């Protein structure tokens, strides 16, 4: 891929083919695919190295690792494989992107400035925390934010689920493993659909604990043992013994770089099409910054792959001299469907 010259005062630095922002499964997979396409990608890790997978217990549902491994171990394997083929990894934090001119500009808190022909944004999301004593210290030791990821490790155990509609959905997942699931909800009723409410309230493994919030998570011998609670109506305090606490009070997309520059949905996620394109030509996104449905390691990996392939094709078109309308939204949302015989 040829590189173009820009008019930046940093023009002595070569223009990158692709800069990847974020170091979770999507980011490292994008790096791997871009590197194998001989693009010599630059990946800037951000402060949350490895993303949410690093706070997961043993990972048993990622293909190819039947013996399971921890989240941090998987991230290191992702990194090693991406670097093996030529991904350059910089431990820095991006604090500004400029996408209204081309090449794009990426600036970091470390004082670096990069110009790049394409961008792949994999900044991810983070759980909304309760921010109560014991939560941070016991994360990964009984405190979890993913029933699909960690429910298996609570087989036959007693767990608490904190939250509202999302908590109700995740509680149903946890009944496959846990012997008892109690949902702690701050109000006296759920707002979920009637179907979901019926499924929750009729499940013999699920108990509702209404008008209750968690004020502290307690540990014993290095793992969760109980929570302290407050009744939102009476003000009474209580202590509930448990083997684990699953927290589902929402996720926050890591989107500080994007308002006013890239299109976001009402929840703050980047809006991409099936080719992982954003509304700016040459800017792509993968992982939980644009995926609020699946939010799994395997799906983030697939999206990182797709984003890198789309970026590669974009760069091929640039090199071939194809005209790019920088003011036109490149996304497509409605694909033509073949007629189905009556």
Residues with a catalytic annotation lie at 146, 149-150
Cα–Cα dist 248/144, whole Å: 9
What are the b/e assignments for 53-75, b being 16+ CB within 10 Å?
Answer: bbbbbbbeebeeeeeeeebeebb
Evaluate the omega torsion of the peptide bond into residue 103 and state whether it is cis, within 30 degrees of 0. Answer: yes
> How open is the CA angle 147-151-153, to the nearest 5 degrees?
150
Which is it for the CA torsion 178, 180, 185, 187, positive or negative?
positive
What residue has token string 């790096």?
31
Which residue is associated with the tokens 């954003």? 278
Give the strand order in the sheet containing 180-184. 143-144, 244-248, 158-163, 180-184, 206-209
First to last CA, the chain: 48
Three-state secondary structure along 23-82?
CCHHHHHHHHHHHHCCCCCEEECCCCCCHHHHHCCEECCCCCCCCCEEHHHHHHHHHHHH
CA atoms of 31 and 120, how far apart (whole Å):
9
């Amino acid at each position: 891929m040829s590189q173009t010259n820009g008019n930046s005062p940093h023009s002595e630095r070569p223009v990158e083919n692709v800069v990847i922002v974020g170091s979770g499964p999507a980011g490292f997979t994008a790096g791997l695919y871009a590197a194998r396409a001989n693009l010599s990608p630059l990946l800037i890790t951000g402060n949350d190295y490895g993303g949410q997978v690093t706070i997961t217990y043993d990972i048993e549902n990622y293909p190819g690792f039947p013996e399971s491994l921890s989240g941090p171990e998987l991230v290191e394997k992702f990194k090693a494989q991406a670097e093996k083929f030529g991904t350059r990894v910089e431990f820095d934090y991006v604090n500004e992107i400029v996408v209204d001119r081309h090449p794009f500009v990426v600036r970091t808190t470390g004082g670096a400035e990069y110009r790049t022909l394409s961008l792949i944004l994999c900044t991810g999301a983070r759980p909304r925390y309760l921010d109560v004593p014991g939560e941070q210290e016991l994360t990964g030791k009984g405190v979890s934010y993913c029933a699909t990821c960690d429910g298996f490790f609570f087989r036959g155990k007693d767990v608490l689920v904190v939250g509202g509609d999302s908590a109700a959905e995740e509680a149903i997942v946890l009944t496959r493993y846990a012997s008892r699931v109690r949902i702690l909800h701050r109000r006296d009723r759920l707002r979920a659909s009637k179907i979901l409410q019926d499924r929750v309230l009729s499940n013999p493994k699920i108990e509702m604990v209404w008008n209750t919030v968690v004020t502290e998570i307690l540990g014993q011998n290095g793992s969760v043992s109980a929570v302290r609670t407050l009744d939102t109506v009476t003000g009474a305090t209580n202590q509930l013994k448990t083997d684990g606490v699953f927290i589902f009070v929402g996720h926050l997309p890591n989107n500080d770089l994007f308002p006013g520059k890239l299109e976001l949905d009402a929840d703050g996620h980047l809006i991409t099409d099936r080719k992982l394109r954003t509304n700016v030509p040459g800017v792509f996104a993968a992982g939980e910054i644009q995926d609020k449905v699946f939010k799994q390691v395997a799906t983030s990996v697939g999206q990182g792959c797709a984003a890198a392939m789309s970026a590669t094709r974009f760069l091929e078109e640039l090199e071939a001299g194809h005209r790019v309308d920088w003011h036109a939204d490149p996304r497509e949302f409605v694909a033509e469907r073949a007629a189905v015989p009556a």
